[in-house]
Amino acid sequence: MSNRFGRLFSWTTFGESHGAAVGVVIDGCPAGVKIDVSQLQKSLDRRRPGQTDKATQKVLVTERNELDQVQVISGVFEGVTLGTPIMVMVHNRDQRSQDYDKIQKSPRVGHADDTWVQKFGHVDHRGGGRASARETVARVMAGYFAEQYLVQKHPKVQVTGFVKAIGEHSLSLDDLKNMDQQILNKSFNVDEHAARFPQKKIKIDELLLAAKEQGESYGGVVEVWVDHMPQGLGEPVFGKLKNELASAMMSIGATCGFEMGEGFALTIKKGTEVHKQSDSPVYGGVRGGISTGERLIFRLGFKPTSTILDTAKAGRHDPCIVPRAVPVVEAMTWAVLADLDLLQRSNRL
Amino acid sequence: MSNRFGRLFSWTTFGESHGAAVGVVIDGCPAGVKIDVSQLQKSLDRRRPGQTDKATQKVLVTERNELDQVQVISGVFEGVTLGTPIMVMVHNRDQRSQDYDKIQKSPRVGHADDTWVQKFGHVDHRGGGRASARETVARVMAGYFAEQYLVQKHPKVQVTGFVKAIGEHSLSLDDLKNMDQQILNKSFNVDEHAARFPQKKIKIDELLLAAKEQGESYGGVVEVWVDHMPQGLGEPVFGKLKNELASAMMSIGATCGFEMGEGFALTIKKGTEVHKQSDSPVYGGVRGGISTGERLIFRLGFKPTSTILDTAKAGRHDPCIVPRAVPVVEAMTWAVLADLDLLQRSNRL
Amino acid sequence: MSNRFGRLFSWTTFGESHGAAVGVVIDGCPAGVKIDVSQLQKSLDRRRPGQTDKATQKVLVTERNELDQVQVISGVFEGVTLGTPIMVMVHNRDQRSQDYDKIQKSPRVGHADDTWVQKFGHVDHRGGGRASARETVARVMAGYFAEQYLVQKHPKVQVTGFVKAIGEHSLSLDDLKNMDQQILNKSFNVDEHAARFPQKKIKIDELLLAAKEQGESYGGVVEVWVDHMPQGLGEPVFGKLKNELASAMMSIGATCGFEMGEGFALTIKKGTEVHKQSDSPVYGGVRGGISTGERLIFRLGFKPTSTILDTAKAGRHDPCIVPRAVPVVEAMTWAVLADLDLLQRSNRL
Amino acid sequence: MSNRFGRLFSWTTFGESHGAAVGVVIDGCPAGVKIDVSQLQKSLDRRRPGQTDKATQKVLVTERNELDQVQVISGVFEGVTLGTPIMVMVHNRDQRSQDYDKIQKSPRVGHADDTWVQKFGHVDHRGGGRASARETVARVMAGYFAEQYLVQKHPKVQVTGFVKAIGEHSLSLDDLKNMDQQILNKSFNVDEHAARFPQKKIKIDELLLAAKEQGESYGGVVEVWVDHMPQGLGEPVFGKLKNELASAMMSIGATCGFEMGEGFALTIKKGTEVHKQSDSPVYGGVRGGISTGERLIFRLGFKPTSTILDTAKAGRHDPCIVPRAVPVVEAMTWAVLADLDLLQRSNRL
């Protein structure tokens, strides 16, 4: 029961990274939502390596050819959701589990393999089973349906994820102001920025290329802004917007921290100082666990990937997964919002 | 359905802060757990104002007389759980809702009142309803039962919460080493430290007394260590130990951030640097979402309370809620662990 | 988790029959529903022994004095639901567990006692714990709130439960026609009929009085009609109206069968014969698991109570629990309908 | 969320009858269960038309060629469950939705089509969408995994479903005694009997062939015996074995009634009469909602299929679905038992 997310917009993911396919069954997407399979495919393509922009392709594309061609098996008819369960899946075309056979007896440092023995009495040595980035394909697919539901219900709502920091390199206040301006103008597209890191000072592609060559890896921070946020979403006690988001985000692999609004920076400010400020940046658009309608702001920290040089070659991993995490984080945001939006329908007579 | 926490060790809280009572129904505590009502009462007393030690009483005790006498209504017979639902409650003895009548037409800055109108079409003006620290009484009661279950199943497991920072004042490495030593010796008791802040350099009681007089407030950080942690707890995808903890913790009022292990500090380190280190402090005892058996470490940030001078007098709030949050954070930790421990019973043939 | 009923209108019951109290927490009743505590009290009184009418009081009233005074502890303010969890409870005033001490070592024939040892490793000998008619108090309270929600949302909807058979005595077609007529006229009140058995041929009170004296007991059948049923309630696969009702009804103690519409009588008819008929009596107002808007009709069988002469004196049970079951069956009907009504809010964009 | 069944052995079905595929995701099957895909295929083949035995093939086989070749997509590796979600599916090879195009504007009598408009704002005219016998494929697949779990945990447990009545023709006491004897000898195989109706007096195949030619249809009764039933399964209040079974069974299409043990026959017996009898046949092996370890007995009524002559040709349906329902009823039985068996793991310290 722990491969399921959401109370009403409820979905269950399946598939091992090196099994036949990964996918999701969504049980709770309302009927009447228009679906465009080519858009869904594009959502998926965004999480593939080397998709940020042309400049970075030589950096991030690995040999692995994940075509990730999506199949909508049920729940959609003539481009509209039926209200029945939606099953979407992607076959794993390139199942090179032989590479993984080599490492099956030496669980990798920082990987989940050995804890699985503890848990299930076995380890599926084929690439880490469910504890792999491949599992996030299912999240992105669920997120696409959640997004379509929400934007067709609240046409102005807008989720923008971006890389705020890669290792010690962080966006400046000017970078953030530029982004803010572009979001207002509706001209911002995170995918036009190398590594989804919207700045120009650092040559981030060169940094990552060098890291790849050296077997080095970087962590970082993803931040999300939700503009034109519907008011009143989130439930008072255990369904607070902030704890639902925290759960969604911290369920993503390699995450190490979650902050709402100003986050930990708030813990060192005094009350008189804080309450002079306008609310939104302070609390991130949430009060008492419920959305205020202001911009929702939260951040998610990623540790540097655990794969070092030799193993990296076998497993063909990225030097920095943070840019690829952006669409996953956005998808989980949509999923949380869709679920809380449906829950809100039951709050009043 | 959003006042419920846990899949198997599942509990639902009830009660408005200025209604008749607050309480919890636990549906899923196994039969045969020994219960000591006087211990349960002591757990509750720990979250009352002014309970940390004698030195701080003059600082933290407010006029509010919350006797908080616990009543075990069902599910326990002759000191042992029956396997039936456990209902425990505490009457609200001192329901001075008249104080709140004054402020009912001016929702307080930073308080949840106005978002509730948005949500439910009304505001229960009596002290904030469910969005009050009073709601945490139910969590502490649920946590007591979770703790009893766990320590009777895994006798060595030990949860230690403490204040790591109040405003800009933070524990030093030496303070942490002392604490670590005392935990190994089983001589550490967080309640012996003023404001549950285990250090001696800062006169924290004087700081808080001054803050109270000036209508100032402080946020801070609570950290939790779980020693002798059972291995293999946590489920691979959406029931990861880290996201279950994040959800539990971020559901507590006034929280603004959650970190596992080294948390955001990890995001700026390089992979080669991180993976030289031993695992536990780095990842906080979790790998792939599952406990490794090493010390579990996580942190929770609290913003400064939103109540400023005048309103504070009416509502009788603390200058810093962080010390009082410690037993609540510990309770939520026990609740998460009990639930994941029961879930783990179903993972193998 | 198995003391909880409902997905959205979700409630958890608690309380042993001879513990301090029985009650329910409803987590999911919308805000804004008007509540009248005196009506709630009347609902509860209906399930007490000897409440059907004056004529039968000497038959059905036992010595047991269950005052059953309801307390609304949370979730309601100034007569309106807040959207927060509603806790309602009733103290057990007369806890004569000493009577039960005598029988604690000889589990009664047909009672649940010995299977509980198997299950929980113990038996709470005090009157059967949760497997007692006392547990239904909580259902009636939950049902009252469900009813208020539904009749304030769909003002015409009307649930009528009645005893269709006691032992081998069954209502005639004429009795049913009379009842149908009175329901259309809104002049039918089941409580005006001895033993809630709306007929005049049999002196049912004398039959039951004789049974009580002889230590005999009767089973019977309760039928429910829902008029002005909202269309479209019930979910296609596992949330069908018929299986939700079946689960709700068969969870009541002493039940042995459930039928929808014509029920088992349909199994011996030919298709051509059935499909000539108009739909409602045939299928009971449900098609494909979803309400058609026609009268909903279903039946619930009760076995004769297992308590025979000697034990009956100790346990003070009824010779026939079927009349007392009517308000419980009605309550469960309201609970199912409220839950499916809230679920239906999420089915369309 | 209403396409999901089970709390711990929890599964979600998907797929429209005339879409691309039908299938199920099982989230909660323990790791370490041995799986034989050819056996799973055989389970599926049992619910296809014309599979009861050679004699009946000319009766029941329709033109429809449902190859139903099962694909295990995830959760199983080298013949053993991994503890990860199991996805199994079957493609719909023969999607003759054109036949259904003809009838899309005239919803069929007794079919679910028009209520779906009410519910979802549309009707998926392609063969009834989810309200089709095709949906039961997913149940049989889930049931196979539940069965494997249970028989590997409790090797003696045995579920036997059979047709007890077709229309007015019912098994005799002698038929039942023969069957009982053969079950004890482990020589009973329901699939060796025409129409899974274990008797010899009636030429049931000729009856059904004639019905098919005349456009007639029959309902009937399926009965299930569970021998060597584990004791203590079922939860006291809303997770009673009898209400879980009732919900599971009444969720199957075309069902109209459910009985436990002697069922409605018990309602007309007197208490003194009933309690002389030995327990098992009376209550069906359940007391207080919990299994006693005796043979579990329950019955499920099916109405005659609603499809009459002309439509039948287009839709190619059976004159009597009751024999084909047997494997579905058995599958749902296994699913309920597996879930309650896993729940029972949490009942004691």
Question: DSSP labels for B41-72?
Answer: HHHHHHTSTT-S-HHHHHHH--S------EEE
Our CA angle for B129, B131, B135, nearest 5°, is 85
Confidence of residue B111 (pLDDT cuts 50, 70, 90): low
Query: Distance of CA C222 to CAs B89, C251, C297, Å?
Result: 37, 14, 11
**Per-residue confidence (pLDDT) for residue C82, from 0 to 100:** 93
Please give the Cα distance from A276 to C130 (Å, whole number).
55
**With an 8 Å Cβ cutoff, are B349 and D8 in contact?**
no
The residue among D301, D51, D319 whose CA lies nearest residue D207 is D319
Instruction: Decide if A92 contacts A71 (C-beta within 8 A).
Output: no
Report the share of chain C in percent with pLDDT over 70.
Answer: 82
**With an 8 Å Cβ cutoff, are A73 and D19 in contact?**
yes
Q: Which residues of B are less than 8 Å from C130 in CB distance? A: 84
- What DSSP element (H or E) covers A221? strand A220-227
Give per-residue burial for C199-224: e unless 16+ CB within 10 Å, then b.
Answer: beeeebbebbbebbeebbbbbbbbbb
Q: Which residues of D are less than 8 Å from C217 in CB distance? A: 270-272
**Per-residue confidence (pLDDT) for residue B329, from 0 to 100:** 98
Does residue A128 surpass a pLDDT of 70? no
Which among B3, B20, B27 has the least Cβ separation from residue C4? B27
**Per-residue confidence (pLDDT) for residue C127, from 0 to 100:** 44
| Partner residues linked to A200 by β-bridges | none
- What DSSP element (H or E) covers D310? helix D309-315
**Per-residue confidence (pLDDT) for residue B142, from 0 to 100:** 98
| Partner residues linked to A346 by β-bridges | none
Our CA angle for A99, A46, A301, nearest 5°, is 80
The residue among B82, B83, B86, B92 whose CA lies nearest residue B142 is B86
For residue C202, the 8-state DSSP code is: S
Could you list the beta-strand ranges (E) of D135-207: 158-166, 169-170
Instruction: Decide if B81 contacts B32 (C-beta within 8 A).
Output: yes
Confidence of residue B314 (pLDDT cuts 50, 70, 90): very low
Over residues C190-211, the pLDDT tens digits come to: 999 999 999 999 999 999 999 9
**With an 8 Å Cβ cutoff, are C349 and A153 in contact?**
yes
Instruction: Decide if C226 contacts C287 (C-beta within 8 A).
Output: no
* Average pLDDT score over residue span B252-277: 92
Query: Distance of CA D183 to CAs D65, D159, D176, D227, D328, Å?
Result: 33, 10, 10, 9, 20
Please give the Cα distance from A318 to C235 (Å, whole number).
45
Q: Which residue type does C197 have?
A: F
From the CB of residue D58, how many other CB atoms can be counted at a distance below 10 Å? Answer: 10
**Per-residue confidence (pLDDT) for residue B337, from 0 to 100:** 98
Please give the Cα distance from C218 to C216 (Å, whole number).
7
Helix axes C322-344 and C37-46, enclosed angle (nearest 10): 130
Please give the Cα distance from A197 to A217 (Å, whole number).
16
Instruction: Decide if B85 contacts B73 (C-beta within 8 A).
Output: no
Does residue A341 surpass a pLDDT of 60? yes
Q: Which residue has the tokens 């007309």?
A: D268
**Per-residue confidence (pLDDT) for residue A126, from 0 to 100:** 53
- For chain D, the first-to-last Cα distance in angstroms comes to 31
Does residue A232 surpass a pLDDT of 60? yes
Tokens at B202, concatenated = 């800062």
Does residue B104 surpass a pLDDT of 50? no
Which among A73, A89, A121 has the least Cβ separation from residue D32? A121
The half-sphere exposure of B244 on its side-chain side, counting CA atoms within 13 A, is: 29
* Average pLDDT score over residue span B27-33: 96
Q: Which residue has the tokens 């019977």?
A: C220
- The nearest CA of chain C is from the CA of D31 a distance in Å of 23
- The nearest CA of chain C is from the CA of A152 a distance in Å of 8
Over residues C155-184, the pLDDT tens digits come to: 999 999 999 999 999 999 999 999 999 999
Among chain D, residues having any CB pair with chain A shorter than 8 Å are 1-4, 7-8, 10, 12-16, 19-23, 25, 27-28, 31-32, 71, 73-75, 77, 80, 82-87, 89, 119-122, 124, 126, 129-130
**With an 8 Å Cβ cutoff, are C264 and D221 in contact?**
yes
Helix axes B136-153 and B37-46, enclosed angle (nearest 10): 130
| Partner residues linked to C70 by β-bridges | C90
Does residue A268 surpass a pLDDT of 80? yes
Please give the Cα distance from C90 to C66 (Å, whole number).
10
Over residues A165-209, the pLDDT tens digits come to: 999 999 999 999 999 999 999 999 999 999 999 999 999 999 999
Beta-carbon contacts of residue D189 (< 8 Å; ≥ 6 apart) = none
For residue B34, the 8-state DSSP code is: B
Confidence of residue C14 (pLDDT cuts 50, 70, 90): very high
A57 or B303: which carries more pLDDT confidence?
B303
Does residue B313 surpass a pLDDT of 50? no
SS3 assignment, position A69:
coil
Phi, psi (deg, nearest 5) at residue B312: -60, -40
Q: Which residue has the tokens 């107002």?
A: C285
Over residues C45-87, the pLDDT tens digits come to: 998 765 444 444 444 434 344 568 999 999 999 999 999 999 9
| Partner residues linked to C260 by β-bridges | C298
ipTM value: 0.92
Residue B309 exposed, middle or buried by CB count within 10 Å (0-12, 13-18, 19+): middle
Phi, psi (deg, nearest 5) at residue A319: -70, -20
* Average pLDDT score over residue span B67-74: 89
Q: Mean pLDDT over all residues of chain B? A: 86
Query: Distance of CA A19 to CAs A14, A87, A127, Å?
Result: 10, 17, 9
Question: Which residues of chain D fall short of a pLDDT of 50?
Answer: 51-65, 96-107, 127, 308-315
Does residue A62 surpass a pLDDT of 50? no
SS3 assignment, position C36:
coil
Q: Which residues of A are less than 8 Å from D28 in CB distance? A: 1
Contacting chains of B (3 CB pairs or more, <8 Å) are: A, C, D
Query: Distance of CA D144 to CAs B160, B249, D244, Å?
Result: 46, 40, 18
Maximum average pLDDT range among B213-217, C281-285, D162-166: D162-166
**Per-residue confidence (pLDDT) for residue B72, from 0 to 100:** 97
**Per-residue confidence (pLDDT) for residue D63, from 0 to 100:** 38
* Average pLDDT score over residue span A144-153: 98
Could you list the beta-strand ranges (E) of B180-302: 220-227, 255-260, 286-287, 290-291, 296-302
Closest residue in chain D to residue C7, using alpha carbons only: D1
- Which of A4, A240, A347, A349 to mutate against chain C (most C CBs within 10 Å)? A349
